[in-house]
Each structure stands twice: as structure tokens, then as C-alpha cells.
Amino acid sequence: MSTAAVVNAAELRELMASPTSPRIIDVRTPGEFETVHIAGAYNVPLDLLREHRDEIRAHLDEQVVLVCQSGQRAAQAEDALRAGGLTNVHILDGGMNGWQGAGFAVNRGAQRWDLQRQIRFVAGTIVVVSLLASIFVPGMKWVAFAIGAGLTITAITNTCLMGMLLAKLPYNRGPACDAQTVVAQLVGSAADRK
């Protein structure tokens, strides 16, 4: 499990003002990132980070602070980077929720629901529809059972299949975010820092 240092919003803000400002890697979907993000953050969606971990890690030589909506995906990203040998990793405590709750500035774009809200909406809708449909088709109640079981497994394993699937929808894709673009941004910003 995650052993990274956790920084709160105030500590991150202080670090960002220092001469050795950390790299802020936002692991949410491009759509979530486009909606709201910390100025100067780089969007490296969790699935992209996992798939291209070594290539991305090669361009992270300073401290890294991982950000997601609440901290769950950042912890998964931290595990992936540490498994790849990166040790200078921190997680923003409370993620974007914590940052915004502290009243710190953000960049805003087109508004979308965050992934957790989408998951609650889809899961709740499936449960309600399947229970109502079970009045006419008794076997439909098992769909509601499957969703409940899936949510339980999600909590135990700290992963979410529904979230991974929803993240791939065009609604959540936002601007293009591929490994080449991410690496080019990291290389460009590394050159600017020197």
C-alpha cells in the first residue's frame, strides 16, 4: 500500500512558491482536468501513467506531487511510480477537493461532472431501473445485486471498473492526452526550469 508523504493544500502552495517547486501531476481524466485544475499542473491520466510509467518517470527528476479528485487515484499512481523506482513522490491530501476547500486558486474550463459523481449516478440509475424492472422480470433484481457487489469489491480493492470504463467515454476525454504529448510537456518544462 501507499507509503508516500502526504502534503496538505497549504504545504503544496508553499512548495509551489519555493525555488524548487515540485512537479504537479494531475491523474484525473482530461475532462475532469479541463473542468478545474491547479495552475501549472500536468494532466497525466491514471491509465496513461500506468501504461507509460517508465517513459514518464524518466522525465521526473524533481519532487512530484500527485493530484486527483479526492486522493484515491493519486495513491494508485503513487504505487505505480514507486514500483517503477521513483521515490520523490507526494500525494495532495484531499486532492482537488482539499485544494478548493482551502480556497486556493484554480484554472477553470468547460464544466463536467467529476468521475466519482458519474459513478454514483450510473450505479444508482442501474439499481433503480433494475429493481423497477424486476416487477415485470423477476430476474432483474440480480442486476442490482451485481452493482452492489461491484461497489463492495471497489471499496475493498481500491479500484473501480465502472470508473475506468466511464473515463474512456468521449465526455471524459476532453482535449487530446497521449503519451507523446505528456512527455513533450514534461521535457519542455524541465528545460524551462534549468
Domain, as residue range, for 57: 5-112+174-193
94 and 129 belong to one structural domain: no
Q: What's the pLDDT at 176?
A: 61
- For the CA atoms of 130, 136, 142, 143, the dihedral, rounded to the nearest 10 degrees, stands at -30
**Residue 187: Cβ within 10 Å count:** 12
141 and 184 belong to one structural domain: no
Domain count, the chain: 2
Indicate whether 20 belongs to any domain.
yes
Q: What's the pLDDT at 2?
A: 45
pLDDT tens digits for range 125-148: 999 999 999 999 999 999 999 999
Write out the three cell numbers for 147: 452493482
Indicate whether 131 belongs to any domain.
yes
pLDDT tens digits for range 70-129: 888 999 999 999 888 888 899 999 999 999 999 999 999 888 888 888 899 999 999 999
Phi, psi of 41 (to 5 degrees): -75, 155
53 and 87 belong to one structural domain: yes
Write out the three cell numbers for 72: 484515491
Residue 192 pLDDT exceeds 70? no
